[in-house]
Amino acid sequence: MREALQHFDLMQPWWLLALPLPWLVYRLVPPARVHDTALRVPFFAQLRSLSGPSRPALARHRWLLPGLCWLLLVFAAAAPRWEGSPVTLPTSGRELMLAVDISGSMQIEDMLINDEPVSRLVAVKAVLADFIERRRGDRLGLILFGSEAHVQAPLTFDHTTVVQFMLEAQLGFAGPETAIGDAIGLAIKRLRERPGDRHVLILLSDGANNAGQVSPIAAAELAASQGIVIYTVGLGADRMVIPGLFGSRLGARQVNPSADLDESALEKIAELTGGRYFRARDPAQLAAIYAELDQLEPVPGDGDTVRPLRSLAHWPLGLALVLSMIRALLFVLPALQRRVT
């Protein structure tokens, strides 16, 4: 019994102070005065006997059911809940921060999925969603960056939410330019607060740093000093055919859509932090890269302990409803019986 009470508590116990309220109203508020003209009926006792047998027990206990209903309603308002046994989340796994470029150039349709051209951002969403769902037991965070960098999801075990935030990302959320240095700086701020001596940032970009306050190389040097390993991914095809007149081959030309990709900077960032640089020219290569990144070593961390909570308010509310229905039936049934007889 004592152990069971240890798992039970009230979220809003001050509602219990309302328990004596009906009694106080009954004792302190004067009864209403009726000034209607009374009519004396000499044979009232005979009429009362004809209406049916008296119910003295019901009269004596007329406050029992309303009182119980009030007690149950106040108890439900106090928000009773049951605390389950502690559940420890996985203590071994990786702590990965994903930084994804959503600048204007990510709208270039040089990726093919099922032989259909799609934008770079669409291809990244398809690959990253599968990558995130495979990281069971790992903490994942998501940074989206363009002209500015924003933490879309902090480090968490809730992979469903991280996937949803990635799928909802749209071009223009963070501006049209590319602030690689700011994205690395923001990741450093989040990762260095975590326990352990090794953390990982996976940064994907299709351009060069042309915005932000922090130089990518300076940010990489700071990350190295904090023990953060950065894996960089350069995205974009090397060749793309621009259709000619009216979408035909007449006047068509071949261009390099990744001419702005600063591969040397991405390689330098990875080298300074002990990571690697990967080049993804199509979704298949991108998927292969993330499959290889799946082999990152686990990072020990402190396990989070949570207690599942379950509300119990529906039980007193349901019982109060049943008692109120019984109370109503006690008034209705005698009239129905008289009508039948």
Sheet with 8-10, side-by-side order of all strands: 8-10, 80-83, 309-311
Task: Judge whether residue 162 has pLDDT over 70.
Answer: yes
Q: What is the pLDDT of residue 42?
A: 64
Q: What is the pLDDT of residue 234?
A: 93
Task: Report, as an integer, the average pLDDT of 283-294.
Answer: 86
Q: What is the pLDDT of residue 258?
A: 84
Q: What is the pLDDT of residue 63?
A: 78
Task: Report, as an integer, the average pLDDT of 258-266.
Answer: 91
Q: What is the pLDDT of residue 264?
A: 94
Average pLDDT for the chain: 82
Region of 227 please: left (phi>0), alpha (psi -120 to 50) or beta. Answer: left
Task: Judge whether residue 269 has pLDDT over 90.
Answer: yes
- Read off the amino acid at residue 256: N
Burial 55-70 (b: 16+ CB within 10 A, else e): eeeeeeeeeebeebbb
User: Does 117 or 54 have the greater pLDDT score?
Assistant: 117
State how far the Cα of 232 lies from the Cα of 203, in Å rounded to an integer.
Answer: 5
Residue 104: Cβ within 10 Å count: 15
Which 3 state secondary structure label does DSSP give 138?
Answer: coil
Q: What is the pLDDT of residue 235?
A: 92
Task: Judge whether residue 29 has pLDDT over 50.
Answer: yes
What domains can you pick out in the chain, each with its CATH number? 92-300 (3.40.50.410)
Confidence of residue 198 (pLDDT cuts 50, 70, 90): low
Task: Judge whether residue 297 has pLDDT over 70.
Answer: no
Element (H, E) at 104: none
State how far the Cα of 241 lies from the Cα of 158, in Å rounded to an integer.
Answer: 41
Task: Judge whether residue 4 has pLDDT over 70.
Answer: no
From the number of C-beta atoms within 10 Å of its C-beta (0-12, 13-18, 19+), residue 319 rates as middle
Percent of the chain at pLDDT exceeding 90: 33
Task: Judge whether residue 290 has pLDDT over 50.
Answer: yes
Q: Give the range with max mean pLDDT: 136-140, 229-233, 336-340.
A: 229-233
Taking only the tens place, the pLDDT of each residue in 41-87 is 565 566 555 555 555 544 555 778 888 999 999 999 998 988 877 76
Task: Report, as an integer, the average pLDDT of 309-335.
Answer: 85
State how far the Cα of 126 lies from the Cα of 144, in Å rounded to an integer.
Answer: 16
Total residue length of the chain = 341
Number of H helices, E strands in the chain: 12, 17
Q: Give the range with max mean pLDDT: 112-121, 194-203, 204-213.
A: 204-213
Taking only the tens place, the pLDDT of each residue in 96-116 is 899 999 999 899 888 888 888
Task: Report, as an integer, the average pLDDT of 118-132.
Answer: 89
Contact 252, 221 (CB under 8 A): no
Q: What is the pLDDT of residue 270?
A: 95
Q: What is the pLDDT of residue 46?
A: 61
Q: What is the pLDDT of residue 259?
A: 85
Q: What is the pLDDT of residue 49?
A: 57
Which residues 6+ apart lie within 8 Å of 204 measured at CB?
Answer: 98, 99, 100, 101, 124, 232, 233, 235
Task: Report, as an integer, the average pLDDT of 300-309.
Answer: 64
- Read off the amino acid at residue 245: L
What tokens appear for 18 in the block?
A: 């309302």
User: Does 253 or 293 have the greater pLDDT score?
Assistant: 293
Task: Judge whether residue 299 has pLDDT over 50.
Answer: no
